[in-house]
Amino acid sequence: MKNYIKTAEIIKVENYPYSFNLKTTLFDSIDFDLKKGYRHSKQTINPKTGKANKPKKSTYDPLLVRYYDENGHIKCINCHFNGDKEINEGTKFLAENFNLFTPIEISYLYNFIYKMAVVDYQATIIYGGSKSEDLKPLYTEFLTICKEAIKTGENVFNLLQLDTEAIDKTKPDNFNPFVIKQYERIV
């Protein structure tokens, strides 16, 4: 099991390598933006001047969590929630690590997962060939629980699991959304 770090925690690392033969202090943190998500941020102190250098920041991810690897180094993992299987993996992770996040982040995550489930529902119809009436019952409870959790902020991520096998069974065999169809000429 990985030793995860709370998203709001700033880690101070002493004797961090700087240039070829200097050491400095590093501040490692996660930036959170309600509209963009999470990004990793590192800022060092210039050992020659004692002033803070410009922070180095990653691009935004829907979910980004830091952890300590076996050598004690800080690493990151991310999740994008693209598709029903990734949504399930992400919600399982969030259920197990709920305490890593602030209440505003929990609300953001429920909202984001809700939107990604809607996108997955629509994409399964468009690119999988499933029928809306077959899929709707497979997503309704998930979306209802998610909507309620946005309001309450309670840890119900463990209840948010899509039935991937049932979703796959709604897809017709040999469906190809990119086949060009021939249409009759009207004129």
Which residue has better confidence, 181 or 87?
Answer: 87
With pLDDT > 70 as the criterion, what percentage of the chain qualifies? 96
CA distances from 143 to 99, 103, 146, 176, 183 (A): 23, 20, 5, 28, 38
Q: Give residues with Cβ within 8 angstroms of 41, minimum separation 6.
A: 28, 29, 30, 31, 55, 56, 57, 58
What is the rounded distance in angstroms from the CA atom of residue 179 to the CA atom of residue 125?
Answer: 15
> Tokens 């922070």 label which residue?
55
pLDDT tens digit string along 63-100?
999 999 998 899 999 999 999 999 999 999 999 999 99
Distance between CA 132 and CA 124 in Å, rounded?
A: 9
Nearest Cα to 165, choosing from 88, 57, 94?
88
The pLDDT value recorded for residue 183 is 64
Distances (CA, A) of 67 to 3, 14, 55, 110: 5, 17, 20, 22
Query: Whole-angstrom Cα distance, residue 13 to residue 28?
Result: 8
Give the predicted TM-score (pTM) of the model. Answer: 0.89
Pair 109, 103: CB distance under 8 Å: no
- Segment 114-136, tens digit of pLDDT: 999 999 999 999 999 999 999 99
Residue % of the chain over a pLDDT of 90: 87
pLDDT in tens, 167-177: 999 999 988 88
Q: Which residues contact 116 (CB under 8 A, 6 or more apart)?
A: 62, 81, 82, 87
Q: Where are the alpha helices (DSSP H) in 67-169?
A: 84-96, 103-128, 132-152, 164-169
